[in-house]
Amino acid sequence: MEPIRKEEIDDQACGSLAPKSKPCPRPKPGEAAGGCSFDGAQITLLPIMDAAHLVHGPVACAGNSWESRGSLSSGPSLSQYGFATDLSNNDIIFGGEKKLKDSIDYIAGRFAPPAIFVYATCVTALIGEDMDAVCKEASDRLGIPVVPVNSPGFVGSKNLGNRLAGDALLQYVIGTGEPELEASMGVNLIGEYNIAGEMWDIEKLMNQAGITLLSRITGDARYKEITWAHRAKANMVVCSRALLGLAKQMESKYGIPYFEGSFYGAKETTYSLRQMAYLLNDREMERRVDRLTEREENRLSHDLRPYRKILKGKKAVLYTGGVKSWSVISALKELGIQVVGVGTNKSSDEDVQRIADRVSDDTEYIPEGGASRIIKTVRERKADIMIAGGRNMYVAMKEQIPFVDINQERHKAYAGYEGLLRLAKELVDSIANPIWKLASSPAPWDKEDSYDR
Amino acid sequence: MSKERMNIPDYNTLFTEERYVQQRENKKQFEAPCSDQEKAEALAYSQSAEYMEKNFERKAVVINPHKACQPLGSVMAALGFEKTLPFVHGSQGCNSYFRSHLSRHFKEPTPAVSSSMTEDAAVFGGMSNMIDGLENAVALYKPEMVAVCTTCMAEVIGDDLSAFIGNARQKGAIAEDFPVTFANTPSFIGSHITGYDSMIKSILSQLFDRSGQTAAPGAGEEGEKLNVLLGFEPYTGNFAEIRKILNAFDTKYTILGDHSGNYDSPANGEYEYYYGGTKLADVPKAANALGSLVLQKYTLKKTQEYIKGTWKQQVSALSTPLGVKATDKLLEAISELTGLPVPASLKEERGRVVDAYADSHPYLHGKRVALAGDPDLLLGLIGFCLEVGMEPVHILCSNGDVEFDGKKWKEEVEALLATSPYGSEATVYVGKDLWHLRSLLLNDPVDLAIGSSHVKFAAKDAGVPLVRVGFPIFDRHHMHRNPIIGYQGALNLLTLIVNIVLDQLDNNESGFGDLVR
């Protein structure tokens, strides 16, 4: 890994490298915008499964968002409950601090969570609720951490919310506990949310290599394990767009080195495992990782053969955010698929650089959203498949384009070696489905009849 | 496909494999979990009557809400009009939630834009966002009308929509004659149905005012037409059904707010942003109609008042017409408004549904049911249950709060329940959430729950099968394509419910069991 320059560490602006750092792009009025900072903060912290997550605001902020992410839990499910203070007209005028305090008390009393995260919303920020004070008071009185997350929707994009959630973890959680086990070999995973159980596949690989996963930040996490994240020997940033700032700050505050990696595709997976072993500075472990990755890659290569035959030469348009914007390209390349168009809307500068390293020169970059823009690329480049998230899925269906969902609502895990196999199968299934032939051929009465007249 | 078929389990089965189970067990050593016994005790307590009492005393926090907010309803309302772009004035995330929410229900794209307000807008007001937003949105999406609704943020800082839109015209961001309708829809009041109502009323009144017409009910060519308003309608199939019924009557009509096209568009190779909807030119003309038929009277409160007051029209207001009796009332209302007799085809259809009821009644009789949903839908569902001999036990309406005339609604529900001995067991809960429902299901068990996908967790905890009816339905496909209103809808509901009961019978059976039901 390259040594990290001091100015990079200091640069917290949106995880971009100095000097070409740019702030999170401002949403443009009049477009179909993506999620807000509240959304971003919540999805970053919701995978802390045993904590209670209380939305301080109108009930619909919780009502519109609860139970819609595919972050899986191996045990506790408290984080899946939709808690809201339900501010109404009167509270807007007279303030909702009493309601907040009572809500925290109720949750602490009835659900006994190890911690409560309290989210600001547009409303509470605008009416000037002193959430920090209420949380601190409740925390002292109840003896459990009550963490304010100051990320109201209007401060900006979803990505900014991810970062603000990272700040809350750094300020209130990380460093407040000590691991019970000897953790000299521990690695934290940052920005991995266990969508469809991907974390479990990764964890399995780490276990096989003998690498301790110290804290999950935050996929399938328990509150307690995040309190001791500062004892890790290395950090791996999985989604850099979301939480690179957290890794940088942990480096400057606790001296924990980090690297950015991914588990999409065999090469990226191997690289990530090797990087971990390297940073842990254990020769024996490096040898173990080498043996493991070689074995897994060989096995995968064999298993993938029938899929590669079908996928070779196919073209894809990829529209996703963060780490997936570049790492899925590697995965697709390994399957023989050429990426002819790629979205860069939610990618950091480094992400874009990584995309550039992985695609050919004539690949089209799609900097802004909007279904029509993506569709246009698919059409012009004669792509065989579109790979994107749920909001674009139904447009693809209208346009009769084979589609694979790789965002938060999917039910299949694509990380690691086995994940690539699953992705291959999913791609083949989607392209091969007879519906596309049916959809694109005209009805019999519209066909030109070559026999008569 | 290929011979090398691979079996790829999803996470439900994949992670039950031994190695993953072992991994999770290992993990427990550092999460300091409760013992299995403690867990069992806590679970048992949460299911107890004592806990239920405490749960119902809860005042401070809402747990698992069962409602969405006003602007979500407004977006749906706006999509009911020809080439109309919903424009959400406020911070951007709200719009994103509405688009995903509606798309997840209908499995269709939802075109809607936001003015994306940020901190500077919080300090200086959202005017420049509105002006830029209107200019950009019109250039990008080429609508023929923009329908602006507000989020909490714009409401809290007190943005003046009318003035802002006026300024946008002055500055040339949009043309003078380009229609921009608007409604104030703060999320801290009411719910999605309030927002639907506000936007429909705004569109009707603002397009009517612009036209410079005067209302003359029953006059001219339009005087033979009927206005029909379905309300916050999660079923595209219901639009088709009401059309079928009106066509059978051979009456002319205008549906005011028809989003069925937008949410049931064909996959023919090219996605357009706008599909169908009520023609903008038809809106002012609707003021001359014979009368208006409203199918969600608690949802469309302001709209009804407007039609009665300003358009001076006769309004026939019903709740969602579910089941035979409610459909009878619908046909009577159409008959009364138009002066036309009930057509023979519908009479025959009624007979067939009654026959189907009779066929299924042994499996439905005395089944205890919990219901959760919006006010008008609940009235329809209760009516349906009573006429097939099912007993509503818990009736939960999260969004029937004070602003919604909760009291009046409750009285009507109770009056409806009192018409039948099957209604005697029922209790109505207004403004309660799904955590309350969970306690109810656990402590006073029922045979079936009827409600949206969100009810599934409470139902699962209590081991009660859920019949998915209402909004949102995220986890089942195509439910919204089949009508639930009218006689055909009654038949669909009956089929859905009785087959879930029969599934249960089969599942509980050992061995081969019964083939004939």
Supply A323's token pair.
């780490």
Which of A:96-135 have CB within 8 Å of B?
99, 102-103, 105-107, 110, 121-123, 125-127
3-state helix, strand, coil in chain A (%, to 5): 50, 15, 35
β-pair partners for A55:
A84, A119
Is the pLDDT score of A397 beyond 70?
yes
pLDDT digits (tens, 9 = 90+) for A25-83: 667 888 877 788 999 999 999 999 999 999 999 988 887 777 667 788 888 889 989 99
Is the pLDDT score of B12 beyond 60?
yes
Which of A:418-437 have CB within 8 Å of B?
421-422, 425-426, 428, 432
Is the pLDDT score of B249 beyond 80?
yes
Please give the CATH number for the structural domain made up of A186-299: 3.40.50.12380
Is the pLDDT score of B211 beyond 70?
yes
Lowest mean pLDDT among A185-199, B315-329, B365-379: A185-199
Write down the pLDDT at residue A257.
Answer: 95
Cβ-based contacts of B186 with chain A (< 8 Å): 58, 89
CATH architecture assigned to A305-435: 3-Layer(aba) Sandwich (3.40)
Write down the pLDDT at residue B2.
Answer: 47
CATH 3.40.50.1980 domain span(s) along chain A: 37-173
Supply B264's token pair.
């049931």
Report which of residues A286 and A321 the model is more confident about. Answer: A286
CB B373 within 8 A of CB B345: no
Instruction: Enter the ipTM.
Output: 0.84
What value does the mean pLDDT of chain A take? 86
pLDDT digits (tens, 9 = 90+) for B419-469: 999 999 999 999 899 999 999 999 999 999 999 999 999 999 999 999 999
Cβ-based contacts of A375 with chain B (< 8 Å): 271
- Do A155 and B118 count as a contact with CB atoms less than 8 A apart? yes
Chain-centroid distance of CA B427 in Å reads: 22
Interface test with A, best of B24, B25, B31, B433 (most A CBs within 10 A): B31
Which residues of B are known to be catalytic?
152, 156
Sheet holding B145-150, edge to edge: B113-114, B84-89, B145-150, B180-183
A450 touches chain B (CB under 8 A): no
CATH 3.40.50.12380 domain span(s) along chain A: 186-299, 305-435
In B, minimum Cα distance to A402 occurs at B269
Residue with tokens 């749960």: B55
Cβ-based contacts of A110 with chain B (< 8 Å): 54-55
Chain A: give the shortest CA distance to residue B394, in Å.
21
CB B308 within 8 A of CB B235: no
> What's the rounded Cα separation, in Å, for the pair A452 and A62?
63
Residue range A149-159: mean pLDDT, rounded: 91
pTM to 2 decimal places? 0.89
Report which of residues B388 and A10 the model is more confident about. Answer: B388
β-pair partners for A188:
A215, A235
Interface test with B, best of A24, A26, A31 (most B CBs within 10 A): A31
- Do B60 and A102 count as a contact with CB atoms less than 8 A apart? yes
Write down the pLDDT at residue B5.
Answer: 58
> What's the rounded Cα separation, in Å, for the pair B66 and B82?
30
Side-chain half-sphere exposure of A397, counting CA atoms within 13 A:
15
Is the pLDDT score of A18 beyond 60?
no
Dihedral over Cα of B262, B266, B272, B278: its sign = negative
- Residue A15 binned pLDDT confidence (cut-offs 50, 70, 90): very low
Dihedral over Cα of A10, A16, A19, A21: its sign = negative
Residue range A113-127: mean pLDDT, rounded: 94
Write down the pLDDT at residue A68.
Answer: 65
- Do B457 and A67 count as a contact with CB atoms less than 8 A apart? yes
Cβ-based contacts of B439 with chain A (< 8 Å): none
In B, minimum Cα distance to A56 occurs at B61
A63 touches chain B (CB under 8 A): yes
CB A86 within 8 A of CB B435: no
Three-state secondary-structure class, residue A317: strand
- Do B269 and A425 count as a contact with CB atoms less than 8 A apart? no
- Number of Cβ atoms within 10 Å of the Cβ of A451: 4
Domains of chain B in start order, with CATH, are 70-211 (3.40.50.1980), 226-338 (3.40.50.1980), 354-508 (3.40.50.1980)
Topology at the third CATH level for domain A37-173: Rossmann fold (3.40.50)
- Do A155 and B68 count as a contact with CB atoms less than 8 A apart? no
